[in-house]
């Protein structure tokens, strides 16, 4: 009997749980879902055969290790900072480990011991990172097999609202961790363009945007995300001229969000103590210069010289020019802003989300250069079965299933950038309706 342990039953786990629970139907597998909220875990499992729910305080080391000891394989859907803790337990107890999160420095330090113990640890097997790696490497490896040279690679991904649910001026609601959205872009973005190194500090990130369009669903904008150059080694693109990874938002979002950045409202280092019952208007005013006669709206227009009506409308819609009370009056500026947005950008029960991803390649062959555009669009079914949950959870679930079936026979520390991993996963994802549409344009050298 193979036992799978899933740690964490949050928003992004629905498809993962259902896919792996279905694999327990033949009674050769057992699935344990552990969460701090036992009732939530039971609800996610729906009483399916071969499954059981457990209550777990992940901070309780003994309780955690006892539960891990029961499993053959552990899937961590916990917050990213918890993965190394769980991974260390798995290493100590001889259990395989899977996550959708970035491979951390702590995880890399375990590499030699993972290999020596004959274990398989797989990270970055979700959406971004995950599907982005696999779909890109498919094109990169195909080009290499033909002796072609990758000149340029740009990749963008975004978790957004489906068009039918875009019912606010931002055309955005939270489909992922709100804190990550509020703090997005902090830390310098680094990429390469036509051989030139490009450095984008935080206060410029949301100004450095590039238009991206998708057939049938319209216009978006991409801003640079973190350190794109680290992917030269990951993808084996040491000699590439252009390399950029970015995040997608609807056109117009970045300009409005940049107002908060320029004001300092996304700062997560300085604690604020506002009077109780303070309004959003007062919160906004605390970031503007004092003036004895100008209104808050006028001061904002002076502070943001290119403030146009669509941007003003987005800020107004959130209630910053009215008397609406703050959800919380103390904390960092970023946490207070987050509390405001969590009320306005919460998914309604009838909302549907959408994942959009697009790769742009310039590839040089013997007699021609080709431009390849590879696009993924995935819609959610409802507020539980979201596109985000589908694209994060299914790649991970498929990887677990393939490994337990011995269709992936690897050991060591991995991310899904080698054919032995990405080829079967992409094939299975297509069966689940997650597939890319490619277009190609040739020009003579």
Domains belonging to the chain, first-starting first, are: 2-123 (3.40.50.720), 131-256+349-387+436-444 (3.30.360.10), 264-344 (1.10.1870)
> 240-288 pLDDT, tens per residue?
999 999 999 999 999 999 999 999 999 999 899 999 999 999 999 999 9
Per-residue model confidence (pLDDT) at position 421: 97
Q: Quick one: pLDDT at residue 403? A: 97
Over its C-alpha atoms, the chain yields an Rg (Å, rounded) of: 23
- DSSP labels for 312-365? HHHHHHTTTTS-PBPS-SEEEHHHHHHHHHHHHSPPPTT--EEEEEEEEEEEE-
Tens-place pLDDT, residues 111-128: 999 999 999 999 999 999
Angle of the 419-431 helix axis to the 387-404 helix axis, nearest 10: 130
CA distance 292 to 296: 11
Beta bridge partners of 355: 159, 378
Q: pLDDT tens digits for 380-418?
A: 998 788 999 999 999 999 999 999 999 999 999 999 999
Q: Quick one: tokens of 398?
A: 């498929």
Q: At residue 27, does pLDDT exceed 80? A: no
Binned at pLDDT 50, 70 and 90, residue 9 comes out as: confident
Give, rounded to a whole angstrom, the gap between the first and last alpha carbons of the chain. 58
Look-up of token digits 């606010």: 168
Please, what is the Cα angle at 1 between 3 and 95, to 5 degrees?
Answer: 40
370's enclosing H/E stretch is strand 368-379
What is the distance between the alpha carbons of residues 355 and 222, in angstroms, rounded to a whole number?
Answer: 14
pLDDT on residue 40: 86
- Measured between alpha carbons, how far is 189 from 180 in angstroms, rounded to an integer? 16
Segment 417-443 shows an average pLDDT of 94
Two structure tokens written together for 423: 């080829």
Q: List phi, psi (to 5°) of 286.
A: -65, -15
Q: How far apart are CA 415 and CA 128, in angstroms?
A: 12
In whole angstroms, give the CA distance from residue 384 to residue 352: 9
Contact indicator for 136, 153 with CB cutoff of 8 Å: yes
DSSP 151-172: EEEEEEEEEEE-GGG--STT--
Collapsing DSSP to helix, strand or coil, 335 comes out as helix
Residue 445 has pLDDT above 80, yes or no: no
pLDDT tens column, 42-82: 888 888 889 999 998 888 999 999 999 999 999 999 988 99
- Residue 384 pLDDT: 80
Q: For residue 443, what pLDDT band results from cuts at 50, 70 and 90?
A: confident
pLDDT in tens, 161-170: 999 999 999 9
User: What percent of the chain shows pLDDT beyond 70?
Assistant: 100
Q: Name the range with the highest mean pLDDT among 26-35, 366-375, 402-411.
A: 402-411
How many separate helices (H) and strands (E) can be counted in the chain? 17, 18
- Segment 168-215, tens digit of pLDDT: 999 999 987 899 899 998 889 999 999 999 999 999 999 999 999 999
**Could you give the 3-state DSSP secondary structure of residue 386?**
coil
Contacts of 222 (CB under 8 A, 6+ apart): 156, 158, 209, 210, 211, 212, 246, 247, 248, 249
Residue 441 CB coordination number (10 Å): 9
Does an H or E element contain 20, and which?
Answer: helix 14-22
Read off the pTM.
Answer: 0.91
Name the token pair of 294. Answer: 């100008």
């Amino acid at each position: 009997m193979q036992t799978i342990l899933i740690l964490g039953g949050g928003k992004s786990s629905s498809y993962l749980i259902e896919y792996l629970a279905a694999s327990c139907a033949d009674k050769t597998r057992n699935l344990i879902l552990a969460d701090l909220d036992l009732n939530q875990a039971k609800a996610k499992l729906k009483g399916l055969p071969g499954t059981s729910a457990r209550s777990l305080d992940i901070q309780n080391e003994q309780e955690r290790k006892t539960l891990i000891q029961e499993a053959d394989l552990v899937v961590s859907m916990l917050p990213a900072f918890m993965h190394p803790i769980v991974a260390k337990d798995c290493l100590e107890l001889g259990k395989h480990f899977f996550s959708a999160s970035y491979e951390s420095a702590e995880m890399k330090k375990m590499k030699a011991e993972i290999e020596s113990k004959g274990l398989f640890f797989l990270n970055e097997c979700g959406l971004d990172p995950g599907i982005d790696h696999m779909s890109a490497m498919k094109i990169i490896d195909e080009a290499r097999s033909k002796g072609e040279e990758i000149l340029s690679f740009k990749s963008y991904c975004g978790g957004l609202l489906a068009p039918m649910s875009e019912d606010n001026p931002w055309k955005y609601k939270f489909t992922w961790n709100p804190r990550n959205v509020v703090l997005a872009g902090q830390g310098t973005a680094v990429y390469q363009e036509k051989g030139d190194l490009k450095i984008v500090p935080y206060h410029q990130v949301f100004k450095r945007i590039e238009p991206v369009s998708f057939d049938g669903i319209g216009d978006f904008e991409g801003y640079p995300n973190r350190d794109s150059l680290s992917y030269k080694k990951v993808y084996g693109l040491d000699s590439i001229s252009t390399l950029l990874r970015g995040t997608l938002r609807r056109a117009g979002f970045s300009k409005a969000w940049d107002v908060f950045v320029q004001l300092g409202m996304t700062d997560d280092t300085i604690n604020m103590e506002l009077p109780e019952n303070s309004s959003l208007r007062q919160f906004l005013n605390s970031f503007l210069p004092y003036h004895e006669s100008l209104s808050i709206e006028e001061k904002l227009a002076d502070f943001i010289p290119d403030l146009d009506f669509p941007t003003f409308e987005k800020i107004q819609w959130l209630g910053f020019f009215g008397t609406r009370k703050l959800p919380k009056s103390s904390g960092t500026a970023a946490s207070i802003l987050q509390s405001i947005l969590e009320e306005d950008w919460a998914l309604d029960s009838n909302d549907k989300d959408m994942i959009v991803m697009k790769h742009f390649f310039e590839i040089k062959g013997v007699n021609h250069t080709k431009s390849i555009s590879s696009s993924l669009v995935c819609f959610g079914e409802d507020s539980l079965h979201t596109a985000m949950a589908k694209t994060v959870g299914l790649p991970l679930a498929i990887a677990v299933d393939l490994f337990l079936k011995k269709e992936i026979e690897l050991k060591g520390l991995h991310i899904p950038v080698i054919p032995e991993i990405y080829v079967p996963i992409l094939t299975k994802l297509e069966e689940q309706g997650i597939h890319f549409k490619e277009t190609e344009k040739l020009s003579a050298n």
